[in-house]
Copies of this chain bind each other. A is one copy, B any other.
Amino acid sequence: MSTTESAPGPATGPAAYPATPRTTPTRARERVSYDRELVHAILDEGYLCHLGFVREGEPVVLPTLYARLGERLYLHGSTGAGYLRPARDGGLPVCLTVTHVDGLVLAASAFHHSVNYRSVVVRGTARPVTAEDEKRRAFDAVVDQVIPGRSADCRPAAARELAATAILALDLAEVSAKVRRGGPKDDPEDLGLPHWRGVLPVRLAYGPPRAAEEAGDPQVPGYLTGYARP
């Protein structure tokens, strides 16, 4: 199936992605999941991924915006980005990783310090989106992934702007999630030590919105005030 000619559909697969050699970890196996709902939830909470690919035999990792529509991810790039050239010729093998840090885990021993996190790793081949309707849908999806609802409240991309934007598609086929939750897992003999043990929660905080200077004092749209968590 070409990734550029078919419209992305809703999630229709089984409840879990298949485990493959590439998505089976060599350590911390108990933290790994292939659950589709979990994978979607982690992806939907974010908008920034770290995209890895190989250039001249060496690894490159770049922060990149993405959006999920069904079982497909769209990656936002510029047509000037060098790494997109190989994508035009048969596709670019990539590893796309999204990570949310949820807490810093303090144990009695240095060894058992850890971090609570949720991550998703997607392996696959990214291909440029060329069909204009899919490209526009993907473009809007990236805007809405960052700020849900925003694509309906701004000037849509003109044809020349769409042409100047490269969008890559990456299907969710070989996917795994990894989650670490909960408190410190100290050795029993360390529990009596006088060091504070527990979790320092971490989250992304948004707002308050800052209007561009020349814009005066316009009404802040509802989809932004919802972001302004105390």
Contact = CB atoms under 8 A, between A and B. Distances in A.
B200 A202 contact: no
A71 B220 CA distance: 44
Contacts of A87: none
A178 B119 CA distance: 24
Contacts of A54: 54, 57-59
Interface stretch (A3-11, A12-20, A127-135, A140-148): A140-148
Contacts of A40: none
Contacts of A28: 78
A213 interface: yes
Interface string A192-212: 010111111111111111111
A98 to B, nearest CB: 9
A61 B52 contact: yes
A111 B161 CA distance: 7
A221 to B, nearest CB: 5
B197 A63 contact: no
B184 A121 contact: no
A89 interface: no
Interface of A: 22, 25-28, 47-48, 50-54, 57-63, 65, 78, 80-82, 93-97, 99, 101, 104, 106-111, 113, 115, 117, 119, 121, 123, 139-140, 143, 146-147, 150-151, 153-158, 161, 164-165, 183-184, 190-191, 193, 195-215, 218-221, 224, 227
Given A51-B61, A53-B59, 4 more contacts: A50-B61, A52-B95, A104-B146, A154-B195
5 contacts: A59-B95, A111-B165, A183-B213, A202-B205, A204-B205
